Amino acid sequence: MNNRIGIDAGGSLIKIAYQENGRLHFRKQPIGQMEEALGWLKIVSTNKRIFLTGGRASKIKSEFFPEAEIIDEFTAACEGATYFMMKEGLPRGEKSLLINIGTGISWIKIDGESYNRVLGSGIGGGTFMGMGKLLADSSDFANLVSLSASGRRGNVDLLVKDIYHPEEPPIPGELTASNFAKTEGINSSSPADKMASFLNMMAETITLLTAQTAALHEIKKVIFIGSTLAGNNPLQDSLDFYCKMSGLDPIFLQNGEFSGAIGAIIR
């Protein structure tokens, strides 16, 4: 990796992986700061090969690094995830489902060295940010995550226990009966309550799609990566809970948001 730099340019972020003095470094910036990031990279990339992936790879190649090589983004994500699994001492090559939660979401079936994208959804990190602006009037990712963690979604969502009260429900009472269904309480609920409700709805939706896709392909092991999970413990915890409830074995890779950038280097 010494002479290589990997760049994953997606819909919201540009992620960079490179090695310096024998140590692997990661850097990410909003796509709106792409020229600043790549201007810096041109200075430090002397005598290094550039490998690009992601939806904006062609733009970066034509405007900044004409000699760069473009790697298919789904292959790069899988190769990078496999690399991080090796670094974490996790078994590799098993039949599994890779879920990349970036601006949008892709589900990729991994079977040995075979990678096949089997599903996609637009309910990803871009949706989280957009709904954060609508519900909490904030465009700061860390702030929206903090609000999601502190809010009480029961002030917004109709829960199973709300329907069965005072009787004991036949399924866990904290499960959602209907998202955003307490219409009488929405106006008085806090931005944190609304964000907690939306994050939970996002986790439920991702888990539902994951469980159905995993069942179709007879898979139990699901691996989560993507920038939307970075520093987002509420989403990770919710996905972990719902996936295990669905009989799946979820794994969340450290530095998984850089899987594409790493995969572009080692492919």
* pLDDT tens track for 24-76: 899 999 988 988 888 888 887 778 899 999 999 999 999 899 999 999 999 99
Residue 244's pLDDT band, with cuts at 50, 70 and 90, is very high
Over residues 227-234, the mean pLDDT reads: 97
Provide the 8-state DSSP code for 251: E
Name which of 10, 252, 224 is nearest 99 in CA terms.
224
pTM for the whole structure? 0.94
Task: Say if CB 97 and CB 222 are below 8 A apart.
Answer: yes
Please state which of the ranges 19-23, 204-208, 218-222 shows the lowest mean pLDDT: 19-23
Residues catalogued as catalytic: 73
Per-residue pLDDT at 200: 98
pLDDT in tens, 84-138: 999 999 988 889 999 999 999 999 999 998 999 999 999 999 999 999 999 999 9
Which residues contact residue 120 at a Cβ distance below 8 angstroms, ignoring those fewer than 6 apart?
Answer: 104, 105, 106, 107
Query: pLDDT band at 220, cuts 50/70/90?
Result: very high
pLDDT of residue 22: 79
Superfamily of domain 121-256, CATH level 4: ATPase, nucleotide binding domain (3.30.420.40)
241 contacts 199 by C-beta, under 8 angstroms: no
Burial 196-227 (b: 16+ CB within 10 A, else e): bbbbbbbbbbbbebbbebbeebebbbbbbbbb
CB 94 within 8 A of CB 218: no
